[in-house]
Structure 1
Amino acid sequence: MAKPRRVTIENAEALKGKLNALDQIASESVLRQAAVAGGRVIHAEVKLRAPVDLGIYEGKQGRHPPGFLRSHIILAFEEEKSVPGRLASYIVTWSKEAFYGRFLEYGTSKMAAQPFLRPGFEAKKKAAAAAVSAVIQEKVRELSRG
């Protein structure tokens, strides 16, 4: 069995400051900033991969010019899957106006799939993780200085 060791704290206030900084690093604000940074990387790739029809789609909700789907790809906070202070979940999806994105992504009985969400995610998931890590590392440096 190991012998107990004594620990002496010479500057308790400095230790408290560092512990408080760690608490700020793990805050919901930093967590969201990091999640958004990763989400933006995937969002940009998905927008590039979204198919663009050169015709003008005339639907019940009005005219959809070329690139309508691409311009309606969004990055949205997903409150149901998020845990305050522990997990910030964001999704890359299409807006309600571009509902037909699901038909392109998954296909229909009359149309083959033209996936762009999943390939965009797969192509950039490592870069997104690096962006998340970079934000956290920057916050660690920023808060450990002060």
Structure 2
Amino acid sequence: MTFRVDTSQLAAISAKLRHYSKVIKEEVAIEGAAAMAKVIYDEARIFAPVSEKAHVFYGRSSVRTGVKYTFQPGTLKAAIYRVYSKDRSDLNRKTYHVGWNHQKAPYGFMVEFGTSHAAANPFMRPSLARVPQAIQAAKGRMAVKLKEITGGI
């Protein structure tokens, strides 16, 4: 008994699988990372304190220079961002940064961790308690993107 198997189509299938794998790594993974970052970002904005009136911040050099900075209510909340990190991402890893812009709200560290004169009012660290929900959001968004790519197969 003799069997003959035509493997000429395997090369084309293999190429399609490699392409599909690359698309998943590039497009599906970034959707998941973005969804996770959004959950943490939204939570940090919820926890960010907003003062009732403008407040003054004294920088390190304020004693020497006399310069004081006045910040309006909501400045810290508005300074919270999420951004894709090209430098820390590659084909196998997608990274988003969630934090606050230190130039827009230089006092954020003191709010988060407190000072010798003021208690901490954390807004970033508590947002990390939502990591399980962030993972669920990522899975959901990746499933949607995968369905888009595969045409619902």
Query: Which stretch of structure 1 is more off in the superposition, 108-117 or 9-18?
Result: 9-18
The separation in 2 between residues aligned to 1:8 and 1:67, in whole angstroms, is 68
- Please list, as runs of the form range in 1=range in 2, the aligned pairs for 1:1-146 lying within 5 A after superposition: 12=10, 13-14=12-13, 16-27=15-26, 29-59=27-57, 60=67, 63-80=70-87, 82-95=88-101, 96-122=103-129, 124-145=130-151
Please report how far the alpha carbon of residue 73 of structure 1 lies from its aligned counterpart in structure 2 after TM superposition.
0.8
CA RMSD of aligned residues (A): 2.6
For 2:7 and 2:137, the matched residues in 1 are separated by 36
Map Cα deviations across residues 57-94 of structure 1 (whole Å, 9 max, x no partner): 245575422111111111133455x2411212212111
Do the aligned partners of 1:77 and 1:90 also contact (CA within 8 Å) in 2? yes
Look up the equivalent residue of 1:109 and give its one-letter code.
S
**Alpha-carbon shift at residue 26 of structure 1 (Å):** 1.1
What amino acid maps onto 1:55 in structure 2?
K
CA distance in 1, matches of 2:56, 2:125: 27
Secondary structure of the 2:82 match is strand
Q: TM-score, structure 1 length as denominator?
A: 0.78
**Greater radius of gyration (CA):** 2
> What is the total number of aligned residue pairs between the two structures?
137
Partner SS for 1:87: coil
Instruction: Give percent identity, aligned residues only.
Output: 26
The Cα of 1:129 is off from its aligned counterpart by 0.8
Shift of 1:10: 8.7
**Unaligned residue ranges in structure 1 (runs of 5+):** 1-6
Query: Hey, what's the Cα distance between the residues in 1 that align with 2:124 and 2:47?
Result: 8
> Residues 42 and 125 of structure 1 are in contact (CA less than 8 Å); yes or no, is this contact kept in structure 2?
yes
TM superposition outliers: structure 1 runs of 4+ over 6 Å: none
Gaps of 5+ in 2: 58-66
